Structure 1
Amino acid sequence: MESPKPNSNGHQNVIVMRHGDRVDHLEPLWLSTAKRPWDPPLAHDGLVRAFRTGQRIRSHCGFPIHRVFVSPFLRCIQTASEVIAALSAVDLDPNATSSKDVLSVDNSTLKVAIEYGLCEIMNTVAIKSEVAPKDKKFDFKISDLEAMFPKGMVDHNVDMVYKELPQWEESGESFKKRYANTLKVLAEKYPLENLLFITHWGGVSSTLYRYFKDATKYLVDYCGSVELRRQILNKDGFGESVEFEVVTSHGVCFKDHNVPIHDHVVYQSSV
């Protein structure tokens, strides 16, 4: 696999994105027969939304995505698969709405890796006790999940920031630190590449809270995202003083006033 070309515009871009529409929120009866009720897949609408989000990123963001890091939960893996298909499509149906319409992909410029640090909040706020495993062991077969991506696109040389899933009933402070640390470590590890993180509501909202502290809660729609940017100081990476900026967001609003965070409003703060 060829190495992706370094950023040529003097900036690193990072997008933190929520997964698509989950089936259990649209089809309540799904839970009655689910073998893994805590790990729902995407609904059809979620697959379509994820693919179209990938198309939007490709067409309107103004920069290429070099690496995708994704939570091991199935809804995130499926979201990543659809987004990646849209980002790397070489030949597709003009009316494409999902990865099934992509005839071929370019797997030489985009890499993907699963990251435990981006997983769901591991407590009853996010995973109800009645659907969580009774033994509180959340099992993922990483090789099966990696097989859902195009051949040659998974980077097996990437070490996870978090080698294991968080312990059940992690605190609010713990998951916020986890999401922030995952972003920081990976951004510093690949400073010359643009990154896409596909995670959960908690991952997107925790990122926003670092910059917009005047709302009690954020509403993050399915595939809602926040885009960050920071300047590259030299060809080798960054100095400690360089900070991310929030460039724009999509599908995110304040709970209190239902006021969207406007595009192109930049707030600077350390990450």
Structure 2
Amino acid sequence: MAESLQIGGEAADSCRERQGRTQNVVVMRHGDRIDAEEPLWLARAERPWDPPLTDSGKIRAWTTGKRLRVIGFPVHRIIISPFLRCLQTAAEVITALCCVVDNETQILSMETSAGVVIDPTRVKANIEYGLCEVFCMEAMRLTALPKDGIWLSDVSELEALLPAGTIDQSVGPLRTQLPLWEEPLVVARERYHTIIEALADKFPLENLLLITHGEAVGVSVSSNLEDAIVYEVDYCAFTHLQRQVFSEPSMAVAVGGFKLVKSSQAGLLYI
């Protein structure tokens, strides 16, 4: 009987040590890309595989950042595909999340991020090659490969596109290189599924915002909603995933898989 009481006491201590929390992961598509709005841009572009945002795309990203600011939980870390359109989207979103205002209604009247003062300590940012575009001719809308074989700038140049002070230099990407060329779509979808879960596992006590490409947003739906087929993902559309995580003295342990929070599906068409 005494042994039984002792075991019960240890179990109670263990329960007190385990602190449960909800981890939120938002998976978001980049803003409006210039080649979709200006088809002739491709003919004169030096880097047609890496289009920037349009001005309206930057405003959409800024507006989405303001929406994420009041989503109901703090975004701790933003993890970004290394392509220019995603980095520019992230810059606008980070600025919105880090904007310093006297009251929250003030930011609602700000139509753009111009002149905004930020507190860069509010979020951490990282670049992740595993979140990149489906790496094939069709997905990247190409007719020819880069002559020098260089797809992207050095990571230090990519990081410089983000607001100063937000890059977390203490951690590196899970994948340090782009996929092999002519990546099959089925392989890319598996990559997205794997990297989303791996990033969540890497930062289990943080809420994450992953800024990536439309196909990845679709995978975040189809992987977590049985028999779902995603037909369309608008610019800056995002999904919201949740799971329970318990924090123990030596580690954080996820309990069960992610569930899709359906209320955040504006901008997605799926059945």
Q: TM-score range by the shorter chain?
A: 0.7 to 0.9
2:66, 2:108 within 8 Å by CA — same for their partners in 1?
no
Distance 1:93 1:187, change over 3 A: closer
TM-superposition CA deviations, 1:199-254 (whole Å, max 9, x none): 00111011111133545442000001110001122343124x52111013231012
Q: Which has the larger radius of gyration?
A: 2
Aligned residue in 1 for 2:253 = 238
2:239, 2:260 within 8 Å by CA — same for their partners in 1?
yes
Aligned residue in 2 for 1:124 = 137
Structure 1: how far apart are the matches of 2:87 and 2:183?
Answer: 22
Structure 1: how far apart are the matches of 2:144 and 2:51?
Answer: 11
1:141, distance to aligned residue in structure 2 (A): 2.2
Structure 1: stretches of 5+ with no match in the other structure: 1-7, 260-271
Please point out which of 52, 56, 63 is paired with 2:63: 52
1:40 aligns with 2:32: no
1:173-212 equivalent positions in 2, closer than 5 A: 173-212=186-225
Structure 2: how far apart are the matches of 1:178 and 1:94?
Answer: 37
Distance 1:147 1:136, change over 3 A: closer
1:21-36 equivalent positions in 2, closer than 5 A: 21-36=32-47
Distance 1:10 1:217, change over 3 A: closer
- TM-score where L is the length of structure 1: 0.84
1:128, distance to aligned residue in structure 2 (A): 2.6
Q: Secondary structure of the residue that 1:11 maps to in structure 2?
A: strand
Report how many aligned residue pairs link the two structures. 245
Structure 2: how far apart are the matches of 1:155 and 1:211?
Answer: 29
1:158, distance to aligned residue in structure 2 (A): 1.5
Q: Secondary structure of the residue that 2:95 maps to in structure 1?
A: helix
Write 1 or 2 for the structure with the bigger share of helix. Answer: 2
Distance 1:114 1:127, change over 3 A: same
1:11, 1:229 within 8 Å by CA — same for their partners in 2?
yes
Structure 2: how far apart are the matches of 1:213 and 1:146?
Answer: 37
1:18, distance to aligned residue in structure 2 (A): 0.2
2:75, 2:208 within 8 Å by CA — same for their partners in 1?
yes
1:11-30 equivalent positions in 2, closer than 5 A: 11-30=22-41
1:101, distance to aligned residue in structure 2 (A): 4.0
AA of the residue aligned to 2:112 = S
1:1-271 equivalent positions in 2, closer than 5 A: 10-59=21-70, 61-91=71-101, 95-102=109-116, 104-134=117-147, 137-235=150-248, 236-239=251-254, 241-248=255-262, 249-254=265-270
The sequence identity of aligned pairs, in percent, is 44
1:15, distance to aligned residue in structure 2 (A): 0.2
Structure 1: how far apart are the matches of 2:193 and 2:108?
Answer: 38
1:133, distance to aligned residue in structure 2 (A): 2.0
Q: Secondary structure of the residue that 1:13 maps to in structure 2?
A: strand
Q: Secondary structure of the residue that 2:257 maps to in structure 1?
A: coil
1:150, distance to aligned residue in structure 2 (A): 2.0
Structure 2: stretches of 5+ with no match in the other structure: 1-18
Structure 2: how far apart are the matches of 1:206 and 1:134?
Answer: 32
1:93, distance to aligned residue in structure 2 (A): 6.5
1:100, distance to aligned residue in structure 2 (A): 1.3
Structure 2: how far apart are the matches of 1:164 and 1:37?
Answer: 20
Aligned residue in 2 for 1:265 = none
Residue range with higher mean Cα deviation, 201-210 or 129-138: 129-138
TM-superposition CA deviations, 1:124-169 (whole Å, max 9, x none): 2311331542465413222122112222110112121111100110
- TM-score where L is the length of structure 2: 0.84
Structure 2: how far apart are the matches of 1:147 and 1:171?
Answer: 31
AA of the residue aligned to 2:268 = V
